[in-house]
Amino acid sequence: MTNRATVIGYDPADLSRRWTQAPADSETELARIAKTTGVDFATAAGRVWETDRFVYLPVVLNLRDGETIRREAVVFALGHEMLVTLQPTAHFTPFDKALARMRRTPQLALSPHGVMYALLYALNEASERVIDHASDALEAMNDEIAMATNGYNHRGREIGVSDMQDTIARMNEAEEIVSRSQETQLMLARAARHLRAELDAEQAQLDGLLDILIADIDGVKEHASYEHDKVRYLQQSIMTSLDVKQNQIVKVFTIITAVFLPPTLIATFYGMNFTVMPELAWEHGFLATTLLTLVAALIPLWYIRRKGWLR
C-alpha cells in the first residue's frame, strides 16, 4: 500500500470512488445516492446498524462556530469498497482537516477504512476544540467566580444571587457543552472500535493508527471529564457561598426579632386600654418601664452573644 501511494500520490478522483458525501439537507441527492450505492440511512434511524453490505455508525458532536456551539449529527455507512457519510451539508467544514490529512498521507484515501479513520480523526480534533472553548470560557469567569466565593464584588458590596445569575447561567452552558462532548467521545470511540473490527489482515498499518486514534479519543474524553468536574466544583462553591450569605442574612433578621420581641411584648401590655393601671400614677413609672424594656432587650442579646451566634 505504501509503495503504491508513493507512486500515484493523492488522487481526488480515486477518493471520490471510495467516499460519497450525502448532504442531509438535500432529499434529491439522498435519493440518488441511495439508488446508486444501496445505502439506506432511514432504516438505520440514527443507531448502530449492520446489513450485508454496510455497517451504520452514528456520531453526534458539538461544533464551534465562532463563539457559538451547535450540535450536529453524522452517520457513517462503511462498506468493503465504499464509505458513505450522511452529513449536515455537502461541504461539512470539519472534514476539511481530514482531506488535508489524506493529502499528506495519500495511502489513507486508497480504502474506505482509511478515509473513515481520517474523518474520525478530524471529528475528534473538532470535539477537542469545543472543550478548549468551554475551558477558556471558565477561565474568563475567574474574577467573577473569585468574587462570588469571597462574597463581595470589587466595590466591596455583598454579592447576592441576582448578581451572579449571568455567571451561573454561563457556567451551566459550559457544563452542558462539556457533558455533551463526553457523549460525543463515547460515540467516536465506538465508531473507531467498529472500524478496527472491519479491517482486513493486510491493513496492519491502519490498525496501528486506529490504536493511536482510540487513545487520543480517550484522552479528549478524560479532558472533558476533568473540565466537567471543574465546572461542577465551581458551581458548588458559588452556590455554597451564596447559601452562606443568605443564611447570614436570615440570622441577622432572626437576632433582631429575638432582641425586640420582649420589648414589644412589654409595649403591648402598656398599650392596653384598662381603666386602672397603677404605673400610670407612679412618679418613676416611665423610667422603670424604660429600664425594664432595655433589660428585656439586652438579655436575649447577651444570650445570643454567649452562644456565639453573632459570628
For the record, the C-alpha cell of 28 comes out as: 434529491
Say what the pLDDT of residue 284 is: 79
> How far apart are the two ends of the chain, measured CA to CA in Å?
76
Extended beta strands in the chain, E state:
19-23, 49-50, 55-65, 68-78, 83-87
Residue identified by cell 472533558 is 224
What pLDDT, on the 0 to 100 scale, is given for residue 232?
84
- For the record, the C-alpha cell of 147 comes out as 468574587
Q: Which DSSP symbol is given to 157?
A: P
- Say whether domain 248-307 belongs to CATH 1.20.58: yes
pTM: 0.76
pLDDT at 245: 73
**What pLDDT score does 2 carry?**
42
Please give the pLDDT value at position 276.
75
pLDDT tens across the length of the chain (311 residues): 444 434 457 778 889 899 999 999 889 999 999 999 999 898 887 889 999 999 999 999 999 888 889 999 999 999 999 999 999 998 899 999 999 999 999 999 989 999 999 999 999 999 999 999 988 888 877 777 777 666 666 666 666 666 677 778 888 888 899 999 999 999 999 999 999 999 887 788 899 999 999 999 999 999 999 988 888 888 787 777 777 777 777 888 888 888 888 888 878 877 777 777 777 777 777 788 888 888 888 888 888 788 777 66
CB 33 within 8 A of CB 39: yes
Nearest to 176 by CA among 228, 126, 238: 228
* Paired residues of 152 in beta bridges: 158
The CA distance from 284 to 280, in Å, is 9
Report the pLDDT value the prediction gives residue 151, as an integer from 0 to 100: 63
Angle between helical axes of 112-140 and 142-150 (0-180°, round to 10): 50
Strands of the 83-87 sheet, one edge to the other: 19-23, 83-87, 68-78, 55-65, 49-50
Distance CA 198, CA 204 (A): 12
Domain with CATH 1.20.58 in the chain: 248-307
